[in-house]
């Protein structure tokens, strides 16, 4: 446990912001833990500071330091995973991505990064035992606190208080306390699934059995799986996931999630952070059925595999005919991040009876033209999130194929079979022309 230099005292946000000096590295934490009143106070000092670098992840609202510095002369934003807001900042040249496997980030702070000058995290108010609960965003915050030169918490009554492992900071570890604005936790809208989402989900549902252990990512397609599971007869499910979404909470409310067959944390819904609706936050608030754990516990493959029948469901945006899944960029334009996709693909494969699904719509529209997401070559600059050697099931609205153990030719033919019909002939011609499929061989 980190010990603060002196007993923590409540100070104003302006006093806290006064500790920041030019050239410092700050850490704002992830999602619900990002500070707000400190952020505004620091923004007010923009003209006094130069080259202040801030690590962050999944911003849920505009950041005052960036809004006050449109030219990027004073603050620069580094993100472990982009939200829509982070993406806009990247497009404007004010944000840079930090490549990762999400479950490794605590190790990055402990092994490779210099100590953070100041970490500022939004937390629940201190409880009766002297702890400041990190709410629904555990991740790597403990590692940052251990390695920080100065620890500041911004307390908020608007956050859910959640149970977990290493999900709090003790009073003795804190240097300063700021009272926050107590605004409700930021919500993530859940758009209803499209017909394509539901079609993809139906293929996946057929592969899920009673007692499976779910990991479900953010997005319309993974949420559609939850919706259809509510309509199915599948029961006695477990959950060991990175992000807790509304779809999983609805499954829990329906009684379909029990966790009784889990080896790791039986009876618990295990996750490292939550993003969703007010209903989600009220459900997990002081609910012992939910366990918020560090990300190196939830996301490392050797932990994931300890549960049997792991079902990993994640999105991609493009896949080539050899099976490389590019899930985080559009050429050199960064969109989101690697997150835990690769680690859950590997953990699910290593799980007894486990399955991983990479799902995508067969087409997308760009500049008024319909384009295939299944392609001969990835878009120039696209980042491979899951290598061809790791991909198991690929799913579009036209079907599901398993690439494990298949040759390049078999992979290409399988992927073409689930591409949009308008593109299949051209994809097959390209595959033959580039010798992915040898002529004279039939399968």
Give per-residue pLDDT as tens, 189-230.
Answer: 888 889 999 999 999 999 999 999 999 988 888 889 999 999
Domain 9-179 and domain 195-433 have a common topology? yes
Task: List the CATH code of the domain at 9-179.
Answer: 3.40.1080.10
Predicted confidence at residue 409, as pLDDT, reads 97
Helix (H), strand (E) at residue 196: helix 195-205
Task: Give the separation between CA 30 and CA 240, rounded to whole angstroms.
Answer: 20
Number of H helices and E strands in the chain, helices first, is: 15, 27
Cα–Cα distances (Å) from 159 to 33, 154, 257, in that order, read 9, 11, 24
Predicted confidence at residue 116, as pLDDT, reads 98
Retrieve residue 349's tokens: 């494969």
Cα–Cα distances (Å) from 354 to 44, 350, 397, 429, in that order, read 51, 7, 22, 35
C-alpha distance across the termini of the chain, in Å: 60
Question: By three-state DSSP, how is residue 132 classified?
Answer: strand
Positions marked catalytic: 242
Which CATH superfamily includes the segment(s) 195-433?
A: Acetyl-CoA hydrolase/transferase C-terminal domain (3.40.1080.20)
The phi and psi torsions of 218 (rounded to 5 degrees) equal -80, 140
Retrieve residue 130's tokens: 């002297």
**Which stretches in the chain have pLDDT values below 50?**
none
How many CA atoms within 13 Å lie on the side-chain side of 406? 24
Domain ranges across the chain: 9-179, 195-433
The phi and psi torsions of 16 (rounded to 5 degrees) equal -60, -45
Neighbours of 45 (CB within 10 A): 17
Task: Give the separation between CA 143 and CA 173, rounded to whole angstroms.
Answer: 12
Predicted confidence at residue 23, as pLDDT, reads 98
Predicted confidence at residue 5, as pLDDT, reads 61
């Amino acid at each position: 446990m980190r010990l603060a230099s002196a007993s923590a005292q409540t100070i104003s946000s302006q006093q806290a912001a006064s500790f920041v000096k030019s050239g410092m590295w700050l850490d704002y934490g992830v999602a619900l833990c990002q500070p707000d009143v400190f952020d505004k106070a620091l923004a007010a000092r923009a003209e006094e500071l130069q080259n202040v670098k801030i690590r962050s992840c999944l911003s849920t609202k505009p950041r005052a330091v960036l809004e006050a510095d449109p030219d990027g002369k004073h603050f620069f934003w580094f993100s472990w995973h982009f939200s829509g807001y982070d993406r806009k900042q990247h497009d404007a040249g004010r944000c840079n991505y930090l490549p990762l496997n999400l479950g490794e980030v605590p190790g990055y702070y402990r092994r490779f990064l210099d100590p953070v000058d100041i970490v500022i995290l939004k937390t629940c108010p201190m409880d009766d035992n002297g702890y400041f609960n990190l709410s629904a965003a555990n991740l790597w915050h403990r590692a940052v606190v251990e390695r920080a030169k100065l620890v500041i918490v911004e307390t908020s009554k608007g956050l859910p208080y959640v149970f977990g492992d290493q999900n709090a900071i003790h009073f003795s570890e804190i240097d300063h306390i700021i009272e926050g604005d107590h605004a409700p936790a930021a919500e993530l809208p859940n758009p209803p699934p499209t017909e394509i989402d539901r079609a993809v989900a139906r293929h996946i549902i057929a592969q899920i059995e009673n007692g499976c252990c779910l990991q479900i990512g953010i997005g319309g397609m993974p949420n559609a799986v939850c919706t259809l599971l509510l309509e199915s007869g599948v029961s006695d499910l477990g959950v060991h996931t990175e992000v807790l979404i509304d779809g999983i909470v609805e499954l829990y409310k329906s009684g379909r999630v029990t966790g009784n067959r889990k080896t790791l944390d039986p009876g618990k819904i295990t996750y490292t952070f939550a993003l969703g609706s007010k209903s989600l936050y009220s459900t997990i608030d002081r609910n012992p059925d939910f366990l918020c754990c560090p990300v190196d516990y939830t996301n490392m493959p050797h932990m994931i595999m300890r549960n049997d029948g792991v079902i990993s469901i994640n999105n991609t945006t493009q896949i080539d005919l050899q099976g490389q899944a590019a899930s985080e960029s559009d050429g050199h334009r960064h969109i989101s991040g690697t997150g835990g996709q690769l680690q859950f693909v590997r953990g699910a494969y290593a799980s007894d009876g486990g399955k991983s699904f990479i799902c995508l719509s067969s087409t997308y529209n760009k500049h008024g033209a319909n384009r295939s997401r299944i392609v001969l070559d990835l878009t120039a600059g696209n980042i491979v999130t899951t290598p061809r050697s790791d991909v198991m099931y690929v799913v579009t609205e036209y079907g599901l194929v398993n690439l494990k153990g298949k040759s390049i030719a078999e992979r290409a033919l399988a992927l073409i079979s689930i591409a949009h019909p308008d593109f299949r002939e051209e994809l097959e011609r390209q595959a033959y022309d580039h010798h992915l499929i040898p002529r004279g061989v039939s399968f």
